[in-house]
Each structure stands twice: as C-alpha cells, then as structure tokens.
Structure 1
Amino acid sequence: MIYLIIGVSGSGKTTIGKALSQELGYAFYDADDFHPPKNIAKMSQGIPLDDSDRLPWLLAIKLVIDEHQKEQKNAVITCSALKQSYRDLLEKNTTNIIWIYLKGSYETFLKRLQQRPDHFMKENMLISQFEALEEPENAVTIDVNLSVAEIVQEIINQTYTKIDSNAKS
C-alpha cells in the first residue's frame, strides 16, 4: 500500500507523513527531497514552478512509487500533487495508492509558512499553489485543524474503511 499525502505548502504533509509512516511501520519519502537544484533555486527566489519544472520532479517520485509497487513494499509519500494531471501521472499503472488530501484555509497555511523561515517555499508562492490547486475527488479529505495524532488516526480509520469497502466491491 502506498499512502500519497497531498496538499499545498504548509498543509502539514511532512509532519503527518512522518507520523503516519511511524505508526504503520512504512517507509517515508518527502517529495521535497526529489526537487532538482534548479527548482529549489527558482522557488528560493520566490518564482513559482510551472508544469515543465515539475515534470522531472514528478517522474522521480513516480519511480519510487513504481519500485514499491513492483517489490510489493509499503510507503508513505508526501507530494503537493496540486493538479489532477500530476496525480494521474503518479497513479498511472498502479493499483495500490490511497490519496490523502490535507485541506485547510489559506490563512492557516500562511501562518504555518511564516513559522518556517528556512524552507525554500516562500509565503508569496502560496497564492500560486491555491490558484493551481484542483481539489481531488478520489481522496480521503482530512481537516488540518486537528492535532497530528488525531489526523493520523483519522487517516487510518478512513482508509481502512475505504480498503474494506473496496475489497467487498
């Protein structure tokens, strides 16, 4: 099983992803670690990425997904995956992805970004992420205003229900 935790910057993807991976005993991958240096440089200058910037990054993440599926290994992967086309690329030829969408307000995420000054994602780019965001229809949607422990438990509760109902279909 691969849990793909998605959302805009500041939604808590890394924090929740690490906590969920520890709870489940799954490998953890943060998509930020897959950005090529030119993407990090661009974002550090406050310049939003475009689709051509994102493609090599998404393909690197897709390789991790494919490896885990081939080897039948479990993982938790965090990735903004703002657009449906990005999610389609990541999901192509896979059968074991559960999408988790961390949802919250612009104000909540802006406040969080202001508390992490050393991150390459700048506050002004949050607007561009909300503009690009196509909310997923096939994801488990989680309210980010809960505590980390509550979010992890909610993910487990909702995904086990989803897995169980899919198995009965």
Structure 2
Amino acid sequence: MHFVFMGVSGSGKTTVAQTVAERLGLPFAEADAFHPRANIDKMSEGVPLTDDDRWPWLRELAGWIAAHEARGEHSVMACSALRRDYRDVLRGGAPGVYFLHMDGPEDVILDRIAARPDHFMPPALLRSQLDTLEALEPDEEGAVFDVRLDVDTLVEGALGYVEQRLGSTYA
C-alpha cells in the first residue's frame, strides 16, 4: 500500500508524512525533491505551474511508487496532488494508493507559509493552489485531516489511518 499525504503548500503534509514514515519504518519521498530546476525556478518567481510542467513530474512520482510496489514495499509520499487527474496519475503507479488530505482554512495555511521563509513556494501562490485544489471524491480511497489540529494530533490520526490499512504488521 502507498500513502500520499496531499494538500496545498503549507498544509503540513511533509511534516506529518515524514513522521508517519519514520515511525513505521517506511520509505518516504518528498515530491518537491522530484521537481526539475525549471519548475522550482518558476514557483520561486511566483509563477504557477501549468499542467505541462506537472505531467512529467507526476509520472516520475508514479514511477517511484511503482518501484516500491515492485519490491513489495509500502511507501509514504508528500505531494500536493491537488486535482483528481493528478491523483489518477499517482494511482497509476500501483494498486492500493491512499490519499491523506491535509486541509484547512486559508488564513491558517498562510500563517504557516509565512513562518517558513526558506521554502521556494511564496505565499502569493497559495491562492492559485487553493483554486486548483479538488477535494477527494467519494470513490477515491482516502481521508481528510484538519490542519487546525496540532501536529502531534495530526500525526496520531494519520498513523491510525495508515496502520488500519496496513493491518497488524505495523500496529
């Protein structure tokens, strides 16, 4: 099984996903690390990515999931996965891809973005991400987590969700 922690920049997806992966001893990928330099430069300049920018990146991420599936490994990834069609690409990497949506009010997320000045994603791009974001649909495997909760509570909730799907092996 593969668990993609999704949401807009500043939603806490990386923090929660990385902690869950560490606690369970699962491979972890931060999707931002897969962006080509051109995408990072574009976002750093406050220019939203286009689908043409995203498709190769998403296919590479699906390949990472597929590689872990081929080795019989579960995995954890932090990736914006803002739209259904983006999530469909990720699901193409393997069966059993679950999405954990870190979701919350814009003002809370803006405060978090402002508190991390070392990240390439400027606060000005949050609105474009929120406009792009499509909630999980009823037929998509996943759950929504409220980012107004403290990090420890989010981690425990996400850990419970992942462990329930993995079964007693990781409980």
Q: TM-score, normalised by structure 2?
A: 0.90
Divergent runs of 4+, >6 A: none
Partners of 2:50 and 2:148 in 1: CA distance: 29
Deviations 1:95-142 (A, max 9, x none): 121210001011111111111112110111000000000011232111
Q: Alpha-carbon deviation of 1:51?
A: 0.4
Task: Please state whether the residue corresponding to 1:68 is helix, strand or coil.
Answer: helix
CA RMSD in angstroms, aligned pairs only: 1.4
Q: Does 1:72 align with 2:72?
A: yes
Verify the 8 A CA contact 2:2 2:96 in the aligned structure 1. yes
In structure 2, what is the Cα distance between the partners aligned to 1:58 and 1:151?
A: 26
Q: Which residue of 2 aligns with 1:52?
A: 52
Alignment deviations for residues 74-112 of structure 1 (CA, whole Å, 9 cap, x no partner): 211010010000000110262121210001011111111
- 2:114 alignment counterpart: 114
CA-CA distance at 1:157 after TM superposition: 2.3
Which range is displaced more, 75-84 or 146-155?
Answer: 146-155
SS for the counterpart of 1:155 is helix
Structure 1: runs of 5 or more not aligned: 165-169
1:147 aligns with 2:150: yes
2: CA distance, partners of 1:63 / 1:96: 14
Cα offset for 1:22?
1.1
Q: Which segments of 5 or more consecutive residues in structure 2 lack a partner in the other structure?
A: none
Partner of 2:5: 5
Instruction: For 1:136 and 1:150, locate their aligned partners in 2 and report how far apart those are by CA, in whole Å.
Output: 21
Asked if 1:20 corresponds to 2:20, the answer is yes
> Is 1:9–1:126's contact at 8 Å kept on the other side of the alignment?
yes
Distance 2:159 2:97 in 1: 14
TM-score (norm 1): 0.91
Matched-pair contact (CA < 8 Å) for 1:140–1:159:
no
3-state DSSP of counterpart to 2:123? coil
1-structure distance, mates of 2:153, 2:111: 20
Q: Distance in 2 between matches of 1:116 and 1:82?
A: 21
Q: What displacement does 1:162 show? A: 5.3
Q: Distance in 2 between matches of 1:71 and 1:124?
A: 40
Deviations 1:35-65 (A, max 9, x none): 0000001001000001001111111111101
